[in-house]
A and B are shown apart, each in its own frame.
Chain A
């Protein structure tokens, strides 16, 4: 039961916010406004549906074609900018949510990646993970914005990893 709640916690939070907002809108503008908002939401969904389908197919195909974990041996402490860029790329290629990405940090650490590479990896995933980009950002916000934001933030994980290697914060993978 608690597990079920935890897994669906964000869904429940969103549903609650949505219900409260719908009630507030109903009180202020009447039932018509609620209906209009629902119609807008449906319209938006119809518009993004083609991108959503293509994004899901592309994401699933890429998952079959590559394995981010295989890149770990190029991510050691002496790997320099090359290691940081490999780590960033691996992060970008990691599909799925935090339940997939954070455990992979431990896998990569075990395979020899240093703290700078791990920071770059996590930021590569969270900033520009291809699945998030393809399934949500491009369909909802439009390709121009998504491409601009991706290009701007592309080098950022490497910079952060470079900084992390120089910070006096030691980290070892928890056993």
Chain B
């Protein structure tokens, strides 16, 4: 178990202790909800992880370097931000794919930009949820307010990794 995993478990146990103070029924609900989420998430992982692994094998080792590698700089951040907006599906697709990209040579700041671009622009989510529920004015308002944020996130990450050598994925 890594340090990060240990911290996560400590946080989970503290939160469970707070639930226990509210009564054993609350803890039981937490247990059954976690089980339900696990049942929902496992099929997604069962499909998404092999897909990402196949793509990682297929991608030549330096395929991503030229476009979104660590030295691709500002253009790489812009490309990654845009690409993030067109990533299909939820987090169970995006995060394994980011892992595959980084194995193929993508840079850390570029991946921060990609995740931010996906979070803000995710086209599929706008089409299937935001537009039908809230209307195009809300979409326009949100897009206009948030347009440059993925690029800013990538540039800030670039500054951070110059000081702290952060890497992507599991050691």
Residues of A within 8 A of B (CB): 10-11, 13-15, 17-18, 21-22, 24-25, 28-29, 33-34, 36-38, 40-42, 44-45, 47-48, 50-65, 97-99, 102-103, 105-106, 115, 118-119, 122-123, 126-127, 132, 134-138, 140-145, 148-149, 152-153, 156, 159-161, 163-164, 167, 169-171, 173-174
Contacts and interface: CB of A to CB of B under 8 A. Distances in A.
Interface of B: 1-5, 7-9, 11-12, 15-16, 18-19, 22, 26, 29-31, 33-34, 37-38, 41, 43-45, 47-58, 88-96, 98-99, 108, 111-112, 115-116, 119-120, 122, 124-125, 128-130, 133-135, 137-138, 140-142, 144-146, 149, 152-153, 156-157, 160, 164, 166-171
A127 B125 CA distance: 14
Given A45-B45, A159-B149, 5 more contacts: A44-B49, A58-B12, A60-B31, A123-B120, A140-B95
Nearest to A163: B145
Contacts of B142: 119, 122-123, 160, 164
B55 A149 contact: no
Chain B contact residues: helix, strand, loop or mixed: helix
B23 to A, nearest CB: 10
A86 to B, nearest CB: 17
B30 A98 contact: no
Given A58-B15, A152-B157, A164-B145, A18 B30 contact: no
Q: Is the interface of A mostly helix, strand, loop or mixed?
A: helix
List the 10 closest pairs (A to B, CB-CB), nearest first. A143-B4, A18-B51, A61-B15, A21-B54, A10-B89, A41-B53, A58-B12, A160-B145, A164-B145, A98-B129
Nearest to B44: A11
